[in-house]
Amino acid sequence: MRYAKVTDNIVVHIANLEKDGFEAVEDSVSPGFVKASDGSFSAPPHSLENLLSNLRLKRDVLLKGSDWTGLADTALTNEVSAKWKLYRQKLRDLPKGLTTEFKIKNAVWPTKP
């Protein structure tokens, strides 16, 4: 089971641990899913705008989860720090050039160091 932060009936964040303001959801629920009035969740309609928005939501979750790597007091070596910087830059650059449904659905996500 996972937990979702829902804002304006849209899942904006997923967590593996229970948190205040989050609700329990099925494992298949992802950022961008829509919460219906009956409490069920469904994937959003597949428009280019929605697909790109979902990609950005997922990307933003990954960026937020790696924010700690930029803190001055981390014990990362220069080499590992450089790998994290590259990973985060690839995440920020990911939406560039994704102009078709095919490109969005087949976007290549960078691998965490």
Please state the domain extents for the chain.
Answer: 2-42, 48-105
Report the distance separating Cα 86 and Cα 104, nearest Å. 21
In the structure, what pLDDT confidence band is assigned to residue 66 with cuts at 50, 70 and 90?
very high
Q: Whole-angstrom Cα distance, residue 76 to residue 79?
A: 8
Q: Which of 2-6, 18-22, 45-49 has the lowest mean pLDDT?
A: 45-49
The per-residue DSSP string of 15-39 comes to ESS--TT-EEE-TT--TT-EE-TTS
Q: Indicate the pTM of the whole model.
A: 0.59
Supply φ then ψ for residue 24, to 5 degrees: -70, 135
Task: Convert the pLDDT of each residue in 27-50 to its tens digit.
Answer: 989 998 999 999 999 987 777 888
- Give the DSSP H or E segment for 11: strand 10-15
Q: What is the mean pLDDT of the chain?
A: 92
User: Which pLDDT value is given to residue 35?
Assistant: 94
pLDDT score at 15: 93
**Residue 66 in contact with residue 87, Cβ under 8 Å?**
yes
